[in-house]
Structures are given as C-alpha cells and as structure tokens.
Structure 1
C-alpha cells in the first residue's frame, strides 16, 4: 500500500528554531519587545497545504489517480460548487479501502462521498493557533491524524497535517520561550531599579533620621535656653515685686514724714503765736519785760526758721513721693511686660516640646521606613537573583 510522505512547507527563516548563545537581547528596552512581537506573529496561512477539491460525484478511482499523480497531497477535500468543504478523504483511508481483495470492484466506481469523513474539523484561517492545536489534539484516535481543513470566508484555503500542527506548536513554544525570557529580563531590570530606589530610600531615611536627631538636640537646647530665660524672668519678676513693695513702703514713710513736717510747721506757727503774745505782754510790763521780749523775739525767729525748714522738708518729701510713685508705675509696667514675655517664653517652650514630639515621631517613621525599605530591598534582591537564575536556565 502506498505510504503517505508528508513534505514540510517552506517556512520563513525565523520559523526554524536554533539555539544560539546570544544574550544581547536581554538588555534591550521596551522598543525591542515590539520588534520581537512583530517578528513572531504566527499566521496559519504560512502552514496551509494546497490540496485538490473534488465534487461529491467524484469516484474513488478518480481520487486515487489524482493522489498518485502528486504524492505531496495528503488528502482530497469534498466541496460544493462554491468551494465550501463538505467532507475529507485521507490518502491512507482511500488506499486501505482500494487495496482489499475485492475492494477495487466494490469501491473503484463508487463516489468518494460514501467513504469520506462527512464531519471533518474545519477552522477559519484567522482562528488562534493555540485553539486550532487544542481542537486537533482533542479528536478521537480514529481521526487523530486526519488533516485540519482551513477556510477563508467559508471557502477552502488548504489543510494542515499533524506534522504541520507539530511545527506550529514548536514555533508557538519557541515564541513563548522568547517572550518569557524577555519578560523575565524586563522584570529583572525593573526589580534592579526598584532595588536601587529602595536603597536610596533607605539611605535617605537614614539621613532623615540623623537630621531628625540633630533637630531634636537643637530643639532641646532651645527649650532649655527658654526655660532658663523663663526662670530669669521669674526671678526678675520676684525682684520687681520686692522693689514695688519697697517703693510702696517708701511712699508710706514719705507720707508719714510729710505728716510730721506738717506737725512741725503747726508747732512752729503755734510757737510764733506764743512769741507774739509774749512780746505783747513784755511790752505791757515795761522795763521788767524787756528781757522776756528779747526771748520772745528769738523764739519768733526760731519758729520762722522752723516753719521754713518744715516747708522745705514738705516740698522735698512731695518731690520724693512723686518720684517714688513714678518708680512704682514703671516697676508695675515692667512687671507686666515681664509677665507677658514670660507667657511668650512659656508658649515658645510648649512649641519646642511639640516640635520635639513631632521630630521624634518623624524619626520613628524614618526608622520604620528604613527598616521596611531594608526588608523590601532584601526581597527585591532575592527576586532579582531568582530571575537571573531563571534567565540563565533558559539560556542553557
């Protein structure tokens, strides 16, 4: 019985897989991915074999003569007048039927529609190659090696043999491998960039932590200085309180002294009045009262001096009292300013405390970021090594 010798169709050069030790494509950018995808586009049309289409009235003998004339035909396809496939007759099937003892007499003049497969697998040329392979592999053992009929707009375009399907599958696997290597390479490069970014992030977080520590140190120094200023203000405020009390006591003393001066002046006035009365009485006494009149004159002069001195003391005490009151007002105003400044110093101290808390929180966050970044960097490095191992394994 004649055996079927399938001839592989002429394929483009890129369809033939040869393993080359070329890793230059692993370092290409995304633009190369588009070139690879364009190069690796699979077209079912490239694998189609031309086979004769016969009518349903063609006899088995005529079909056998047609297949004998061209041994490259693996089958004949039954079709209607519009070239739409209706059935499939494989070369082996026809030869097996005609090689029987009485087969020539029984089948030679019969139409091939009696022996052809009326339910062949028919797919469109634009169908996905993996789907066609799945359909072919899901057939029963009886029709496993039958051709797949390829149509375009429901008209016969050609057929695919099992060898064609294997070549197609090999090309798909080769392209999937190339795409996998390209994807892994890109992933490795991305992981490397992520690792570099994480490393920079960890370094920046460490620097931020150090800067935060310096800020905390300076803030603590500033807070300590403010506390010292506040303590100084409190001491000054206490001293001013004492000075104000002393000034108040001085005013009280001045007022007492002024009262005493007024009393002295009153006594001087009374003494002058008594001296005048004594002079009058001395004049009445005549010669006997002249000595007493001299004493009265002296007393009157002394009372006048005392009154003048008392007036001077009163004026002096009033001036001192006015200056003391002004001093008390200045001390009171200074104390108010110091109290207001102390309040601002307290607010500044609270602000420094809040700043310390915020910076400590930032420092903790920076430490957490550095720790998490370190862990993420370790994971990225682990993934990168795994991807490198996968790429190396694919290239061996």
Structure 2
C-alpha cells in the first residue's frame, strides 16, 4: 500500500470553528435585548399611569362643573362687592350726618355762649336796679321822717313817701327774683355747654371711627375686586385646562405606546 506523502495530504478543516463562532454572538447581544424589553415595559407603565390621571381629571371636571363653580364664585363675589359698596354709601351718609350734627352742636355752643353773655348783662342791670331801689328806699325813709316833722301839713307827703318806700321794697324783691333766675340760667348754660362739648367730643370720636370704617370698607371692596379678578383668571385657566384635557385622546397615548 502506497501512503501519500505528507505534503500531498489535504488539510483538515478545524472542527471547532463553526460551532464556537455562532455561540459567541447571542452571548454578546443578550444584555441589550433585556434592556430594551425593560424600557418598553416602563414606557407602557408610564402611559397607563398617564391614562389613569387623564381619566381622573376628566371625571373631576365633569363632576365638579368647574366653570359653573367659578361662575357662582364670581356672582357671590359680585354680590359681596355690591353689598359692601352699598354699606360704604351708608357709612358715607352717616359721616355726612355726623358733620351736620357737629355743625349743629357748634351752633348750640355759640347760642348758649351768647345766652351766657346776656345773663351777665342782665345781672349787671339787676345790680343797678338793686342800687336804685336801695337809694329810693332810703329817700322814702327820709321823706317819711320829714313829713312827720311837718305835722298835719306833711301828712299827705308822708303817704306818698310810704308808697315810694313800698315800691322800692318791691323793686328790691323783684331784683332778687331776677338775680335768682339769671343765676339758674347761667348754671343751665354752663351745664349745656359741658354737655355740648361732651357731645362734640363724642361726635369727633364717632366721625374718626366712621372714617376708619370707611377706609376699611374701601380696602375690603378693593380686595374683593382683586379676588374677583383672580377667580376670573382661575376660571379661564381651568377652562383651558379642561379643554386641553378633553382634547387629549386616549388613542394618542396608545399609538405612542405602539410606536415604541
């Protein structure tokens, strides 16, 4: 048997090469495939959660009636503003009435002061009358004495002197009564002045409080106007949000998930 020479024998192909090469390819691509599946799963979960949120928003918008709620809020705020505005008018009217009352009190004080001046003048006149009555009484007494000295001739003169003396006594009594009345008028005038001054202070205090209340009401009205404008803006934003939510179809999210 003739054996071939070593250089004439055909080369033996490596048996392990076809097996090792295909096995190494799947081993290198496995982590990428697993990561892709995990990302897809997380994306689908995010889509499902977003769908739940949108469904909840749609349900709340439908149940709450946000636009109607905001409209009612605006109407109530408008009514509150109207009420406060009316109250502010009432406060302004009260302030005007207090001004009138203060003016009347000042007039009363002026008139009472004039009455006090008149009382002082009356007192001075009463003092003068009292002096005249005292002198008249003294003259009548002297005339009575002289008539008694004249005897029968002075008897008629004595009668006249007696009447004059009686008139002087009546005048003195009248001046005392007038003086008493003037004293009472003066005391009443002083009491009236005290009451008027106290009333004037109360009016000033009330006017100050009313002025503060008027400022508070005006500030409250301004605040309510601001709140109303804010509610209007919120209503507009809520309407836009509701429209945006309603315009977001569920199929868009589903198709986005399918494209993944």
TM-score bucket (shorter structure)? 0.7 to 0.9
Deviations, residues 328-362 of structure 1 (Å, cap 9, x unaligned): 21111112111111111111111110000000000
Q: Which has the higher strand share?
A: 1
Q: TM-score, normalised by structure 1?
A: 0.56
In 2 relative to 1, CA 184–331 (structure 1 residues): closer, same or farther, beyond 3 Å?
same
Contact 2:95 2:211 in 1 (8 A): yes
The equivalent of 2:244 in structure 1 is 379
Larger radius of gyration: 1
Mapping for residues 1-396 of structure 1, pairs under 5 Å: 105-107=10-12, 112=16, 120-121=24-25, 123=27, 128-130=31-33, 172=37, 176=40, 180=43, 182-197=45-60, 200=64, 201-383=66-248, 385=249, 387-391=250-254
5+ residue gaps, structure 2: 1-8
Counterpart secondary structure, 2:247:
helix
Task: Work out the CA distance in 2 between the residues paired with 1:233 and 1:346.
Answer: 11
Deviations, residues 158-217 of structure 1 (Å, cap 9, x unaligned): xxxxxxxxxxx8xx49x93x7655543431221232345567454443322111111101
Q: Which has the higher helix share?
A: 2
5+ residue gaps, structure 1: 1-103, 133-168
Contact 1:192 1:381 in 2 (8 A): no
Task: Work out the CA distance in 1 between the residues paired with 2:136 and 2:95.
Answer: 60
The equivalent of 2:6 in structure 1 is none
Contact 2:140 2:162 in 1 (8 A): yes
In 2 relative to 1, CA 113–186 (structure 1 residues): closer, same or farther, beyond 3 Å?
closer
The equivalent of 2:3 in structure 1 is none
Task: Work out the CA distance in 2 between the residues paired with 1:242 and 1:268.
Answer: 38
Greater relative contact order structure (CA < 8 Å, 6+ sep): 2
Count of residues in correspondence between the two structures: 248
